[in-house]
Structure 1
Amino acid sequence: MNTVVQNLVDRLRRRQVAGSFRVALETAKVHAIIVRGSRWTDAADLAASIAVKGALLQAAQPVELAATNITNRVIGLIREEERNLIADSGAASFNRDDLKNNVIDAIKEMTDEIENSVANISSQALEHIHSNEIIMTLGMDAAVERFLKEAAKLRKFQVIVAETAPSYSGQQMALSLSQSNIDVTLISDASIFAVMSRVNKVILGTHAVLANGGLVAPTGSNIIAAAAKHYATPVVVLTELYKLSQEYPFDVDAFGVPMSPDAIVGFAEIDADVVEGIDVVNPAYDFVVPDLVTLFITNM
């Protein structure tokens, strides 16, 4: 059992498993193995074991908040199934195998919910996107991509995509949307404020939603949300439920995972005399304050 947990811990540390979706699925898979195979005696013992293993996963990669979110949900499922078995049996004791089977089934349902969450979000697209609107988005996000494509089946609208340097994932998003016959314009990040006055709505994805409603979102999200606030343009955030975190942002800098600076300034481009005198910062995520968000759309 410890081998399974340690394997995921190692992959989280090396960022071989990254992103809320993959982390949520992998965490749920590990917890299902723990429920099925570990030596626990009752619901309290099982919940404690899940909590310990979940803490190890979270510590391995603190910014991947989905690990704790899924751990808390699994603990909630254990307590819920315990209550149901007590109610059904009319006594405080019940068969351990019944609890194990019920919890495994509940985790399977949760896993199905995670896998179908983007589809459930996109099914609401027509309620929020109207004909002839100009929508702005940032980079590549699976939920936003499917949301816009679903709306495009019955609506004609224009999408402006910020390319999101240095990853330039917005180029991938623009290509994908254009292949679905959506009118797309790709812009540089520096042009966001200049074109925001024409935009009817900003639609963003996110890495996590914190306890105060703030976002841990891809770099550039704070710029686009601030520009939208200036022009009173609504900012709609698409978020799956497994991205909702109980974490409070006491230290917002802790969420800006530093990536390789080479994507911004290559070592070969810097004069050797000044290498030691500069810092090149390339954070993976921004923190977006809750005041900049107008609406959350979840898979529920």
Structure 2
Amino acid sequence: MPDVQALVNDFVLKIKRRKIEGSQATAKHTAELLRQVVSQQRITYTNQAASLIDAVKAVGEQLIEANPVELAIGNIVRRVLHMIREENVSSAMSAVEELALGSDDDEAEHDNRMGLSAAAVAAAARSTLRAPSLQTLLEDIPDSATAPHPPSSGGDSEGKSKSAAESSSRNKKLKHDVIEAINELIQEIDTCHELISAQAVEHIHQNEVILTLGHSRTVKEFLFAANEKKRSFRVFVAEGAPRYQGHVLAKELVGKGLQTTVITDSAVFAMISRVNMVIVGAHAIMANGGVIAPVGINMVALAAQRHAVPFVVLAGSHKLCPLYPHNPELLLNDFKCPSELLDFGEFSDCMDYDGQLGDSPPIRVENPAFDYVAPKLVSLFITDMGGHSPSYVYRLIADYYSAEDLVVRRKSAP
């Protein structure tokens, strides 16, 4: 099998050179790489879950550092960490159940030990799979339940060898279960567009007018699905300057027979009163329900709010980020090449100057890639798990991520 570090270095190089772009492709490659990391991790007889967590975190830090703007990388790393913790707790509970079905020798001592073990597993499950709450803090868990008590076998070699064999078996099962969970995650990433598109007929109705901006594969598949269900509707496509990806989307929609009108970005506010719904894609969904989306979409969201037009965001669950926009670990924007905004030859005289070292040129060209859309501007999220309001994002975060893994990479102090 190929060396894991060689695979990591190759993937990091591809990310830095932008050979892998797009949240879906990046998320899938990240999950496949972490599957290799888990499968090649050496089996130890003690604390296999901690060993897997450390290995995934070490690789995750390198991947996140390679492209901090692509939040899908950190999302997948944290989801895999959550899977390891979840499968470890499930394995511990299974071990307790197996012991409960064992021999009945010294039943009173056995029941007492099982009670403590079950309490310990329950405490581990609470601390691992969900954030602490007032109820969990007030629950009475005995101090002696912090770790399961081993059977008092007298310390003979036969008991030790049996315990080691059982531990090895559990470790192998843990690795197998984690790999199966990652395979399900990869399948989920592959089918996210189909699952989102299947909901199109519930949201797009006859003779409606839909507005979108730029080019998003998720939006395109969503509109195609509604069109295949014999929905007759019209689409306004804002061109999405400066990259004009809206032209590409409009051409694809016309190829499928949809009534399509291309408008300039500045005409959005003038046309929004004729629109029944705004449907856009997203780069990431933050923990507060805010959206990181292609530049220009915040303007569309403000216009939609002004005219009380529903603003719907389509995104796969791999774009659900458990961090907030104010977290220092995040880098929320990327700046593209200035040539997309203006031709260098036309402004070359403005860029030639005789200033001192450290002075700024007479003209600066900044081309940001993303906008931030506040949660109050979003009407509905449509994901592969269904439709959700921005206020429900916190619950999805609790289902997919562990509180211990929210910060995988910490910036060094200045």
Cα offsets for 1:243-287 (capped at 9, x unmatched): 000121117994220000001112111041455211111111111
Residue among 172, 177, 181 paired with 1:102: 177
Kindly indicate whether the alpha-carbon contact (under 8 Å) linking 1:211 and 1:248 is maintained by their aligned counterparts in 2.
yes
Q: SS of 2:312's equivalent?
A: strand
Kindly indicate whether the alpha-carbon contact (under 8 Å) linking 2:237 and 2:261 is maintained by their aligned counterparts in 1.
yes
Q: SS of 2:207's equivalent?
A: coil
Q: How far off its partner does 1:81 sit?
A: 2.0
Q: Say whether 1:230 aligns with 2:306.
A: yes
Distance 1:14 1:247 in 2: 26
Q: SS of 2:90's equivalent?
A: helix
Q: Say whether 1:63 aligns with 2:69.
A: yes
Cα RMSD, aligned residues only? 1.7
Cα offsets for 1:16-74 (capped at 9, x unmatched): 22221111011101100101113353011101211221122111111111111111111
Matches within 5 A, 1:1-300: 1-39=4-42, 41=44, 42-89=48-95, 90=98, 93=167, 95=169, 96-153=171-228, 154-250=230-326, 254-275=331-352, 276-300=361-385
Kindly indicate whether the alpha-carbon contact (under 8 Å) linking 2:43 and 2:172 is maintained by their aligned counterparts in 1.
no
Q: SS of 1:173's equivalent?
A: helix
Kindly indicate whether the alpha-carbon contact (under 8 Å) linking 2:71 and 2:321 is maintained by their aligned counterparts in 1.
yes
Q: SS of 1:62's equivalent?
A: coil
Higher mean alpha-carbon deviation, 58-67 vs 242-251, is at 242-251
Distance 1:231 1:168 in 2: 25
Q: SS of 2:20's equivalent?
A: coil
Q: State TM-score, norm by structure 1.
A: 0.95
Q: State TM-score, norm by structure 2.
A: 0.70
Q: SS of 2:191's equivalent?
A: helix
What residue ranges of structure 1 are gaps of 5+ in the alignment?
none
Quote the sequence identity (%).
41
| Paired residues, number | 300
Q: SS of 1:277's equivalent?
A: coil
Kindly indicate whether the alpha-carbon contact (under 8 Å) linking 1:86 and 1:94 is maintained by their aligned counterparts in 2.
no
Distance 1:227 1:147 in 2: 22
